[in-house]
């Protein structure tokens, strides 16, 4: 059983579209949650942390549903520069160093 599961995509959307990704995690005791972005042949970079109350950063909105054990990322008004792989990341234990990564969801924004 995978700790973190994501739809690998690819998601191909036109510029300006709204797109949403979901991610599920297996450990109900998981403590903290993140979305990372990874461009082709580059390293992952933190996009945003995901808080229980939900949080927004510009065009990006992250939500956490602990009861259903899923995390979502919504991107509004997609830009060409949003094309990347989006990694769902879960930290299962407070203070632990072990992050669990999903395989990532590939997004391509088309002109």
Partner 1 sequence: ETGVTQTPRHLVMGMTNKKSLKCEQHLGHNAMYWYKQSAKKPLELMFVYSLEERVENNSVPSRFSPECPNSSHLFLHLHTLQPEDSALYLCASSQNSGGRQETQYFGPGTRLLVL
Nearest to partner 1 of 78, 105 (CB atom): 105
Q: Which residues pair with 85 in a beta bridge?
A: 38, 106
- Pick from 13, 17, 74, 99: which binds partner 1 (CB under 8 A)? 99
DSSP letter at 59 equals T
Binds partner 1 by CB under 8 A, chosen from 22, 26, 27, 49: 49
Number of neighbouring beta carbons within 10 Å of residue 104:
21
Near partner 1 by CB under 8 A, which window of 14-22, 52-60, 73-81, 100-108?
100-108
Give the position of tokens 């808080």.
Answer: 51
Is position 100 an interface residue for partner 1 (rule: CB under 8 A)?
A: yes
Question: Is it true that the peptide bond before 78 is cis, omega within 30 degrees of 0?
Answer: no
Nearest to 88 by CA among 29, 20, 41: 20
Task: Give the binding site for partner 1 (CB under 8 A).
Answer: 2, 4, 8, 32, 34, 42-46, 49, 87, 91, 94-104
């Amino acid at each position: 059983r995978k700790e973190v599961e994501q739809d690998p995509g690819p998601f191909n959307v036109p510029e300006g579209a709204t797109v949403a990704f979901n991610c599920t995690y297996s450990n109900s005791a998981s403590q903290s949650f993140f979305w990372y972005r990874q461009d082709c042949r580059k390293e992952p970079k933190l996009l945003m942390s995901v808080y229980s109350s939900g949080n927004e950063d510009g065009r990006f909105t992250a939500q956490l549903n602990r009861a259903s054990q899923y995390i979502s990322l919504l991107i509004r008004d997609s830009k060409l520069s949003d094309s990347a792989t989006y990694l769902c990341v879960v930290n299962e234990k407070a203070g632990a160093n072990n992050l669990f990564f999903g395989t990532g969801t590939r997004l391509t924004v088309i002109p």
